[in-house]
Amino acid sequence: MFRRVDLDNFVVEAVSRNVARVSYATSLMKKGVFISTTEHLLSAFIGMGIDNAIVELDNLELPILDGSALPIVEMIMKAGVRRQRRKRTYLRIVRPIEVSEGDKSIAVYPGPAYTVSYSINFPHPLIGNEAYEVELTNGSYISDIAPARTFGFLEQAPMLQNMGLIRGASEENAIVLTRDGVKNGPLRFEDEFVRHKVLDLIGDLALLGHQMLGRVVADRAGHAMHTALVSRILKDPSLWEMTTLEDLDSQELEPDEQLAEGLA
């Protein structure tokens, strides 16, 4: 949950019902109190296995830092993480669901782990068609996803600024793309662009309120479709069940094995 210390410690929970705006970033609002650009921080939490945190801030927007989740990950590692006694409860997908709009789509299918597969297509010589897949339960988030920075096109900057967006954008907090290259290279990964889309998606799906078990497949989606998927999942309880990893392990045992384990 987010706590606005500048507004009498007003709390805005990081859940789907508080989604306010999804234009170029995901923002939350509760009773008129606004929290902007939440996806990078929430992504870092999920990627590091954190599901119980209070985030205090004295402004309406989270700092963009270097445009990735890596500085947040480093701060969390420096501060330390406390393991709690209560077993973690997961939202396990049991039936597939798909959301599409034109040539864009996002879907989630049952699976034993949290896996994200993302495809993008931008008409730029450094991007074009890119695809990336990652499993979040094997610790790969910190090395493979967290360092990927947000990106933007130099020619679109005036238009976005006129809309009141990217006011703090600079070469220090985003990859700046010219018509045929990168203004502030080098890239951290050859496919850094699609990796950042994965980073954003993980942060947006954190608005489920629980860590997920399932396989997410996205094609040219974005914040609006990410949060639409969250809303659709939460509105249909037949798509999921709440479980712990211990419950899943016991379900996978055959009846004789369960008996033997009990006798042991």
The predicted structure's pLDDT at residue 155: 64
The closest alpha carbon to 88, from 247, 207, 238, 205, belongs to 247
The predicted structure's pLDDT at residue 259: 43
Catalytic pick among 124, 196, 210, 223: 223
How long a stretch of residues is the chain?
264
Three-class SS state of 147: coil
- Domain encompassing residue 251: 2-263
Pairing of strands 55-57, 2-4: parallel
The question of whether 223 is a catalytic residue gets the answer yes
Question: How many structural domains are present in the chain?
Answer: 1
Cα 218 to Cα 197: distance, rounded to the nearest angstrom: 10
The predicted structure's pLDDT at residue 261: 41
Other beta carbons within 10 angstroms of residue 202's beta carbon come to 29
For 17-42, letters b (16+ CB in 10 Å) and e give: ebbeebeebbbbebeebebebbbbbb
CATH of the domain at 69: 3.30.1700.10
**217: β partners:** 107, 117
Distances in Å between the Cα of 82 and the Cα atoms of 52, 169, 195, 264 are 10, 34, 28, 32
- What are the pLDDT tens digits along the chain (264 aa)? 999 999 999 999 999 999 998 877 899 999 999 999 999 999 999 999 998 999 999 999 999 999 999 999 999 999 999 999 999 999 999 999 999 999 999 999 999 999 999 999 998 889 999 999 999 977 899 999 999 999 987 665 555 455 454 556 677 888 988 888 898 989 999 999 999 999 999 999 999 999 999 999 999 999 999 999 999 999 999 999 999 988 887 776 444 444 444 443
User: What's this model's pTM, rounded to 2 decimal places?
Assistant: 0.90
Residue corresponding to tokens 């045929």? 180
The predicted structure's pLDDT at residue 179: 86
Residues whose CB is less than 8 angstroms from the CB of residue 163 and which lie 6 or more positions away in sequence, other chains included: none
**3: β partners:** 11, 56
